[in-house]
Structure 1
Amino acid sequence: MLHFETGPGDVAASRFAVSPAGETVRLIGLLDRAPRRLLPSLMPRFQEAFAPLAALPDVRLVAWLSGPSYGADFASPPPTSMAQTIEQDAEAVRTTPPANVRAEVAEIRSRRAAPPDLATALDDPALADRVASAILLVWHAVLAPEWPQLFAVLQRDVRYRAERLAESGWGAALGGLHERLHWRDGEITIERVPDAWIHLDGRGLLLVPSAFVSPGIAVNYDEPWQPSIVYAARGVGLLGERVGANSGAGDAALAGLLGPSRARILQLLADPGSTTQLATLTGFSVGGVGDHLATLLAAGLLTRERAGRSVLYRRSPLGDALVAPREEMPTP
């Protein structure tokens, strides 16, 4: 079991960030080893776009370096902000000190054998540059077309957890993050990982939401990086779904009552969202989303609040009751 010991300054020092390169590397690993773990709504598009690249030697290098149980930090260095770009990530990969690259490759080789045809490439002094180029290739061909929708989901997760971390501390922010992660008496524990006791000592945690982390959580506490937890973002199940593609009688009834577009927006607003984020997630125009939000707000199904320059909407208790599956509704 892994133990993160927290102190008084660690909440203030903790931050959220998103890594385009990290998401690309995790996606490569899933497509290479376990494509069925991808969302059914996204898997066909990703597999089709990835197929021409899968056998390229440098893409296979990234797949091997990415896991499954231990991956190379240099291939997906911890992100620094929510505004990180793929170009910044690639530059960070390229400029990894050669000694760090060699040490990480040696550690992975001690845990699992490299395919014979990749052995020479793993000793190449230009390995970091090759990895960065492969990440960029897969990003542009596979992930970039889906990134606006994906990033909107990650942003909403960060807003949800950051609010709770600031207002109520670790327990509220980490609640529901993963069944193996627990918070108690100043300590974060994660089950079924090698034993270690890490004192944060004011460094805080880097919390990284992901659409592709498998099996749902990953940790890094190697020097010199800030200790980090990569976790499955809330709302990832909504990615790639078509408007009106309802899966149950309750969804169909809601669409029949409100119309498919307003029903879709109401379903998305379990967590706060802005007009722009909702437009990205649904594919509707910003103006169209605004009209639907006004109608739902007037009906008492939403609340709204200002956060900086944004106005955020979320479901009201009445909206929650309307969306709740019938079997979860209280019996009169």
Structure 2
Amino acid sequence: MARFSELRLGPLETLPVSVVAQPGVTLMSLVADALGGRSQGVHPSWRRVLSAAVPGGSGAVLRPLFAREYSMVPDCLTPTAPLWETDLTVQLERLADVSPQVLLAELERDFEGTVPRQWQSVVDRPKTFIHAYAAILASVWEAFGPMWARAAALLARETERVGVAAVSNALPLVLTGLAPKVRFCEETLYVPDPHPETFERGARRMVLVPIVSGHGASVFSFDRSDAVWFGYPVPGLDTLWGSREVAPGKDRLKLVVGSLRAGILRELVHPGTMGSLASALNCTPATVTYHCGQLESAGLLTRERRGQHVVARRTAAGVALVQLLSE
């Protein structure tokens, strides 16, 4: 049975939100999937490339971080701090220079004095482990760097999409579609986690981090003092596995709510039935019904039954959103 950590965000109207294209989060997702046995949905061809790119014995080096008994990466070993530093070269150099004493102290603190058996080899030779670990991450990024560069347009488009949603009260639509197994309900984000906890955002900023790895990507940190952040698959990831470049989107309404939901809102300049919308948008009535339900939950349309038909109409918020993002 799936278990979830909960992040209680509070009222979205006052939620400070940012998007940061943090390559270190993508790197950790890639390492977890290709080398740590924790599926993130990385494309099989890239999983093979990354596995072949690292030094021999990398699996044994990484085993403590991804052991089934307890999966934990100490903060000093994550190339994501500070979160706002997006030059991964700087992050990896800093990681290679981590003091063994700092790592040992963090392990002692994180495990409350009883370091698990799988970490004993690290405790015995921390300096050797740090150098080997840093070399693995550098090798993975050297192999994957060109793909990250190719994703620049997708990352820019996602930054624009979230930014527009934040100023148009459409954040619920963004949060409900972050990742396949992530849920958002009643101001709370539910994230799959083998060791679930409940977190209060408080006054901290919410940072969304699009990940360029796989469709199952999910990396997060809800216990930092400065911000809570969640990494999720960047929309349009499939386009990267081909050779064509990705052009930034121009339709801001589609960027925020997706192509089909944008079509529904625009078709509802006059009230319409599920059947008429399905015909206009070339899809099934069941598909339209599902997306209308999501738009209704976000307060952008209402539905009422009239005889054998269900009629949808835009709310004032729906009208305002279409006007704002169609200018």
TM-score bucket of the superposed structures, by smaller chain: 0.5 to 0.7
Deviation at 1:171, TM superposition (A): 1.0
Instruction: Report what 1:2 is aligned to.
Output: 5
Instruction: Report what 2:103 is aligned to.
Output: 101
Count of matched residue pairs: 257
1:78-117 equivalences in 2 (<5 Å): 78=80, 84-94=86-96, 96=98, 98=100, 100-105=102-107, 113=118
Deviation at 1:48, TM superposition (A): 3.9
Q: Distance in 2 between matches of 1:128 and 1:66?
A: 16
RMSD across aligned C-alpha pairs, in angstroms?
4.3
Greater Cα shift, 93-102 or 208-217: 93-102
Where structure 2 has 5 or more consecutive residues not aligned to the other structure, the ranges are 254-258, 268-278, 286-327
Q: Distance in 2 between matches of 1:331 and 1:130?
A: 54
Cα contact 1:25–1:62 (8 A) shared by 2: no
Provide the TM-score with structure 1 as the length reference: 0.60
The partner residue of 2:138 within 133, 136, 139 is: 136
The partner residue of 1:18 within 16, 21, 31 is: 21
Deviation at 1:64, TM superposition (A): 4.7
Specify the SS of the correspondent of 1:84. coil
Q: Distance in 1 between matches of 2:152 and 2:123?
A: 33
Cα contact 1:24–1:139 (8 A) shared by 2: yes
Q: Distance in 2 between matches of 1:222 and 1:183?
A: 19
Deviation at 1:82, TM superposition (A): 7.1
Where structure 1 has 5 or more consecutive residues not aligned to the other structure, the ranges are 244-264, 275-301, 306-313
Q: Distance in 1 between matches of 2:188 and 2:199?
A: 10
1:143-222 equivalences in 2 (<5 Å): 143-168=144-169, 170-191=171-192, 193-212=194-213, 215-222=216-223
Cα contact 2:54–2:136 (8 A) shared by 1: no
Q: Distance in 1 between matches of 2:162 and 2:41?
A: 25
Specify the SS of the correspondent of 1:70. coil
Q: Distance in 2 between matches of 1:199 and 1:187?
A: 9
Distance 1:127 1:233, change over 3 A: same
C-alpha distance after superposition, 1:247-304 (max 9, x if no partner): xxxxxxxxxxxxxxxxxx8xx67xxx16xxxxxxxxxxxxxxxxxxxxxxxxxxx758
Q: Distance in 2 between matches of 1:100 and 1:9?
A: 38
Instruction: Report what 1:329 is aligned to.
Output: 282
Amino acid at match of 1:13: P
Instruction: Report what 1:38 is aligned to.
Output: 42
Deviation at 1:21, TM superposition (A): 3.0
Greater Cα shift, 122-131 or 164-173: 122-131
Provide the TM-score with structure 2 as the length reference: 0.61
Q: Distance in 1 between matches of 2:156 and 2:200?
A: 28
Cα contact 2:7–2:188 (8 A) shared by 1: yes
Quick one: percent identity of the two aligned structures?
Answer: 14
Instruction: Report what 2:323 is aligned to.
Output: none
Greater Cα shift, 219-228 or 167-176: 219-228
Deviation at 1:143, TM superposition (A): 0.9
Distance 1:154 1:216, change over 3 A: same
Instruction: Report what 1:228 is aligned to.
Output: 229
Specify the SS of the correspondent of 2:227. coil
Instruction: Report what 1:61 is aligned to.
Output: 61
Deviation at 1:151, TM superposition (A): 3.4
Cα contact 1:26–1:66 (8 A) shared by 2: no
Instruction: Report what 2:256 is aligned to.
Output: none
Q: Distance in 1 between matches of 2:81 and 2:155?
A: 14
Cα contact 1:14–1:207 (8 A) shared by 2: yes
Distance 1:94 1:7, change over 3 A: farther
Q: Distance in 2 between matches of 1:184 and 1:51?
A: 41
Distance 1:56 1:34, change over 3 A: same
Q: Distance in 1 between matches of 2:180 and 2:103?
A: 33
Cα contact 2:6–2:198 (8 A) shared by 1: yes
Amino acid at match of 1:65: L
Amino acid at match of 1:232: P
Q: Distance in 2 between matches of 1:170 and 1:303?
A: 17
Q: Distance in 1 between matches of 2:82 and 2:217?
A: 21
Instruction: Report what 1:119 is aligned to.
Output: 121
Q: Distance in 2 between matches of 1:198 and 1:16?
A: 20
Deviation at 1:197, TM superposition (A): 2.3
Specify the SS of the correspondent of 1:227. strand
Deviation at 1:123, TM superposition (A): 3.2
